[in-house]
A and B are shown apart, each in its own frame.
Chain A
Amino acid sequence: MDAVIIIFITGLIGLFVGMLKKNELTLAVISIGLIGGFISMFLINDYESIFSTYAGLTFSRTQQMFALLAIGLTFLAVLMGYVYYKEEDEHTADYYGLILFSLTGALCLIGFSNMFMFFLGLEILSIPIYVLVGIQKGNSLASEASVKYFFTGSFATAIMLFGIALIYGSTGSFDLNEILMAIDMGMSHSPMLNIGVLMMMAAFMFKVGAVPFHFWGPDVYQGSSNAVMAYMASVVKLAALFAFVHLFNFTFNQLTPFVSGLVLFAIIVSLFLGYLSALKQTSFRRMMAYSSIANTGFALFAVLNQQFGEASLWIFMIGYACSTIALVTINMIVEKDTDELSNWKGIGYSNPLIGITLVISLLSMSGIPPFTGFFGKYLLLSSAFANYLPFVVLAIIASLIGAYLYLRLMVLSLSREGEGQKIKMTAIQALVLVLCLAGVLGGWLVLLIK
């Protein structure tokens, strides 16, 4: 509870400090707030909070891990935003404030234990994002993205709400434990419940960006600034996927036979459509959007894995998020007027830090050991191996297409023609790259501790 409050208040303070137009000061305040939130989240079960506890928001060990990851990734997004808004000091305060409010929502979405908190979290997470996407006011692409995202997003939310209402109608409760008990007592064949679950699933698919609800992805990614895109691809996806997995593995676990077919369909179609469409893109952001659709396909394997689903998702997401943030940061460095992939030619060859980060991120995304992405995919696939072998094989074939995609980008940016090219990189960007590199290289070591 404390962590959520600390982060919310930091967001408020950030809004006011941002008005002073002192970028360093704002960054310092936000960083202190985030670190405070991180520490209090780290110790959340070890001390007595001064606030009264609310049963709808509890953090178990796994939820704590996800919350810590979300805070850490937000810190990276904030650093990226600092670099961006240092040059255009118009909306600094809005950016910092909104991103922290959104993080508050993400934490609620991670720690929820009843449907009310869940819906609240989802909305607090989404609404700042609608604004953030359109924050570059002069940019028509940004406005388009923002409007598109807002309309489709609110439609998805409405469907989600309807689903929750139907579930409430059939089980008589908002509380996850009570819903679970009601389902255990024989509710699992109630049509009302099933339709409700189906609607929730559709809305979730929209939020995480899985096929067939993925159409907003490329446009929104293209319209938003790099920092917002990194935030969307990491924290928003993390929180939404966690909620998805948590709800379907824990509360609706009786319904697995009912949903597994649909989830498998979404997985396979996301993987193939995502990677194959990504191959055709010439714009970096659209490519990342499709690649994120495909990676969502992988992550959805966690929904089918009741025992280790959440832990596997954690490992997978740290690998995916760190690689994505690293790539987006590199895009920020090389981006000229457009985000065409041709900007990337030879950058890895001329700058060693960029080169190493890029190679390792891309290899991790292609699932090559010993990087974190490999362990994530390994965990997800190995648990699905026994029950869904044909789908695992399909996923492996898709990941080969993915490897081709990432390899192409790697070859492009390691081209020897880049020799002697000058690349301007600020210290903060280098810091983000190093942190991401550490995550990709060492994220899987968490496995050994637990």
Chain B
Amino acid sequence: MELIFLPLILGIIAFFLPTKWVRPFGLLASLSVLAFSIVHLMNFEPANYVLILNPAEVFPLGLTFKMGYDGLALVMVLLTNAVISIILLANWNREISSNARFTGLVLLMQCALLGLFTSLDGILFYTFWELTLIPIFLILYWFGKQDNNRALFKFFLYTLLGSLMMLLSFIGLAYFSPNFSYFQLVQANFDGKAVEAAMIMGGILFAFAVKIPLFPFHTWQAPTYTNAPMAGTMLLSALMLKMALFGMIKWMIPIGFEGLVYLKWPVITLGGIGIVYGAIIAMKQKDLKTLFAYASISHLGLIAAGIMLFTVSAIEASMVQIINHSIVAVALFLCAGIIEDRLNTRNIDDLGGIAKVAPHFGFWFAVMTFISVSVPFTAGFIGEFVLIKELFSAHWVIGITAASTLVFGAVYMLRAYQGSMFGPSKVTVFKDLTWNEYAVFGILTVAAVGFGLYPQIIIDFIKPSIKFTQELMAGDLTFTKK
């Protein structure tokens, strides 16, 4: 339980701290939460389900308040805590990190995210899903570009519409399950009413599709990213989008498997369109941040399509890719943030020749570019190749579409890199990296290469969880706390 309450309490404390203490406090707070989650990791055995909150009774409305994690959720918990620490570290030399409201909101966001990943109750999941929206909204509003209300409203209302559809689906689910406990929902019996199941799952999927974002639901993303502060973009793309992918793996597939036959190919198709569409738009972008936003649509379309294949290896590869995308997102938006911080512009046309003035930054930006185009020995290589292979075995058209991401990815990333770092020297003054930026790039590179060389470490965690869930779905397993 301390896993959720610690960031909440620390976050509330952060609001009341004097300015000079805020910055170290924020970093220490996030590191201490990370330390706690590592303790959880040490005591964890992959085949187990650890319940951190398990009231025996069922409350009115079918609320059960169960919370806990399996391997899948624990990976996400660790990812959240690590990424939050990295984000705070990356912002160390910026004014924003000394702002009590910012640090407090980031820690509250962490609390909501951890709650989401560990909740094992439908309404609790929905609650945390909505709660994540509030801190990010305030971060975007207070620290983003001024006069960005239009983009903000679009973001908030679009995601809220998705959430409301999910709420409708949960209300509908209540007719098929005695209560909202995850284990009951997974065993929900639709009695062959596949169409009803598909409608219910459609609502949940809509919420996820908006957040991922899948192809026709992506319109909120680029303006929101462009107007957001660097930390906000990182939080959005490295963590909030993963909520939806996690929700697909952990909630949608086990609960509504009967209904998903109708949704499988539509989603895969949308994912495929997203891969190509995002990449093509990204090639045309001048603004680095918008470019990375569309690149993100392309990457996440691949993951979403992979998840919808429902095969074990595709889901494992998706998890690897989820982690990889978090690394890439933090890295690329940090690069964009550094450029914007030093030069007050992100337009590729105004950039050029930075590598000559700031060779260290040029080097690290190159490393990050290579990680994002998934060269061998990085985590992206493993994830993308397994996903593409799985998509190929499902259907060759989608396989080829998915494979195009490799080519397109290289095109837009190298173009962005070349346009800003080399070429005619338009930039003459560029302060090279500070220590915290070196540290962030270093950590990210170690992580990406580490997971690239030994992805099994992630898969070992997930595999027993997937197996457990499969047994739970088959219904030959009555759940007991181990």
A-B interface pairs (CB < 8 A), number: 66
Contact B168 A396 (CB under 8 A): yes
Contact B127 A407 (CB under 8 A): no
Known: A396-B168, A414-B138, A414-B141. A368 touches B130 (CB 8 A): yes
Give the residue of B59, B153, B161 whose beta carbon is less than 8 angstroms from that of A407.
Answer: B153
Contact B172 A368 (CB under 8 A): no
Contact B171 A382 (CB under 8 A): yes
Interface size class of A (residues with CB under 8 A): 20 to 34
Determine whether A450 belongs to the interface, using a CB cutoff of 8 Å to chain B.
yes
Q: Report B453 CB to chain A, min CB distance, Å.
A: 42
Contact A403 B157 (CB under 8 A): yes
- For B175, the closest partner residue in chain A by CB is A386
Contact B126 A369 (CB under 8 A): yes
Cβ contacts under 8 Å, B127 to chain A: 369-370
Contact B61 A379 (CB under 8 A): yes
Contact A369 B171 (CB under 8 A): no
Determine whether B142 belongs to the interface, using a CB cutoff of 8 Å to chain A.
yes
Determine whether A393 belongs to the interface, using a CB cutoff of 8 Å to chain B.
yes
Known: A368-B134, A447-B60, A447-B61. A404 touches B157 (CB 8 A): yes
Q: Report B469 CB to chain A, min CB distance, Å.
A: 25
Contact A407 B157 (CB under 8 A): yes
A393 CA to B59 CA, complexed, in Å: 26
Cβ contacts under 8 Å, B165 to chain A: 396
A13 CA to B133 CA, complexed, in Å: 50
Contact B171 A378 (CB under 8 A): yes
Q: Report A279 CB to chain B, min CB distance, Å.
A: 12
Determine whether A291 belongs to the interface, using a CB cutoff of 8 Å to chain B.
no
Cβ contacts under 8 Å, A385 to chain B: 168, 171-172, 175
Determine whether A197 belongs to the interface, using a CB cutoff of 8 Å to chain B.
no
Contact with B along A247-265 (1 / 0, CB 8 A): 0000000000000000000
Contact A393 B168 (CB under 8 A): yes
Known: A368-B134, A379-B61, A450-B60. A414 touches B171 (CB 8 A): no
A392 CA to B172 CA, complexed, in Å: 11
Cβ contacts under 8 Å, B168 to chain A: 385, 392-393, 396
Contact with A along B244-258 (1 / 0, CB 8 A): 000000000000000
Determine whether A448 belongs to the interface, using a CB cutoff of 8 Å to chain B.
yes
Q: Report A390 CB to chain B, min CB distance, Å.
A: 12
Determine whether B156 belongs to the interface, using a CB cutoff of 8 Å to chain A.
yes
A407 CA to B59 CA, complexed, in Å: 31
A352 CA to B133 CA, complexed, in Å: 20
Cβ contacts under 8 Å, A269 to chain B: none
Cβ contacts under 8 Å, B142 to chain A: 414, 416
Most buried by A among B149, B156, B161, B171: B171
A385 CA to B175 CA, complexed, in Å: 10
Contact A400 B164 (CB under 8 A): yes
The majority secondary structure among interface residues of chain B is helix
Q: Report A339 CB to chain B, min CB distance, Å.
A: 23
Determine whether B38 belongs to the interface, using a CB cutoff of 8 Å to chain A.
no
Contact with B along A377-419 (1 / 0, CB 8 A): 0110110011000001100100110011001100100101000
Determine whether B449 belongs to the interface, using a CB cutoff of 8 Å to chain A.
no
A11 CA to B142 CA, complexed, in Å: 48
Interface residues of B in 390-404 (CB under 8 A from A): none
Contact A403 B171 (CB under 8 A): no
Contact B160 A403 (CB under 8 A): yes
A396 CA to B168 CA, complexed, in Å: 9
Q: Report A354 CB to chain B, min CB distance, Å.
A: 14
Give the residue of A352, A396, A450 whose beta carbon is less than 8 angstroms from that of B164.
Answer: A396
Determine whether A288 belongs to the interface, using a CB cutoff of 8 Å to chain B.
no
Determine whether A122 belongs to the interface, using a CB cutoff of 8 Å to chain B.
no
Cβ contacts under 8 Å, B161 to chain A: 400
A379 CA to B167 CA, complexed, in Å: 12
Most buried by B among A369, A378, A447: A369
A244 CA to B19 CA, complexed, in Å: 54
Cβ contacts under 8 Å, A416 to chain B: 142
Determine whether A363 belongs to the interface, using a CB cutoff of 8 Å to chain B.
yes
> 7 A-B contacts, Cβ less than 8 Å apart?
A382-B174, A386-B175, A393-B168, A407-B156, A414-B138, A447-B59, A447-B61
Binding site for B on A (CB under 8 A): 352, 359, 363, 366, 368-370, 375, 378-379, 381-382, 385-386, 392-393, 396, 399-400, 403-404, 407-408, 411, 414, 416, 447-448, 450
A-B CB proximity, top 7 nearest = A369-B127, A382-B171, A370-B127, A396-B164, A385-B171, A368-B130, A448-B59
Contacts beyond the supplied A396-B164, A400-B164, A403-B160: 13 A-B pairs with Cβ under 8 Å: A352-B15, A359-B134, A368-B133, A369-B127, A370-B127, A378-B61, A385-B168, A396-B167, A399-B164, A404-B153, A407-B157, A408-B153, A450-B60
